[in-house]
Amino acid sequence: MAHEELRLGNQLCFRFYTVSRLITQAYREHLEPLGLTYPQYLVMLVLWEQDNQPVNDIAKRLVLNTNTVTPLLKRMEEEDLVSRRRSPEDERKVIVSLTEKGRNLEKTARKIPQKMAQAYAHPEIDEAKMLNLYQTLDTLIGSLQA
């Protein structure tokens, strides 16, 4: 018999894993028509917020390693969503910019957060609880990064 601390239902990580998987799955129906995967959507969010960013900055914002982001950016460049070029000031830096196709996707993507808010909607989760969840998760993320 498993000890209490080893029960699946007592694992915080399992809840996060399940929520993450289900959220990604819910995004899929909204992203497929745009030709985006969820990780590509996250990159696009970063670039729609501020275009022309170094790969390192994008990776930092997404809390990923550059060696994880680089292959993703290569595929996005092949799909004409972004372009990559060496920084004229520092040859070691690669700057990522939105293409016209990438910029145009933003108009369609604007509807996604509202659609996802509807997917999250539950009678027991009001706006205050959702705000508290954001704050709690931000605190936990900060703690785990430290």
Is 97 inside a domain boundary? yes
Is 1 inside a domain boundary? no
Whichever domain contains 113, its CATH number is 1.10.10.10
Residue predicted with more confidence, 91 or 108:
108
- For the chain, the average pLDDT equals 94
The four Cα atoms 72, 106, 62, 141 give a dihedral, to 10 degrees, of -150
Is 94 inside a domain boundary? yes
Is 27 inside a domain boundary? no
Is 45 inside a domain boundary? yes
Q: Are 4 and 10 in contact (CB under 8 A)?
A: yes
Please count the structural domains in the chain. Answer: 1
pLDDT in the model for residue 102: 98
Read off the pLDDT of residues 19-48 as tens digits, 9 standing for 90 and up: 999 999 999 999 999 999 999 999 999 999
pLDDT at 121 over 90: no
pTM of the model: 0.91
Enclosing domain of residue 53: 37-117
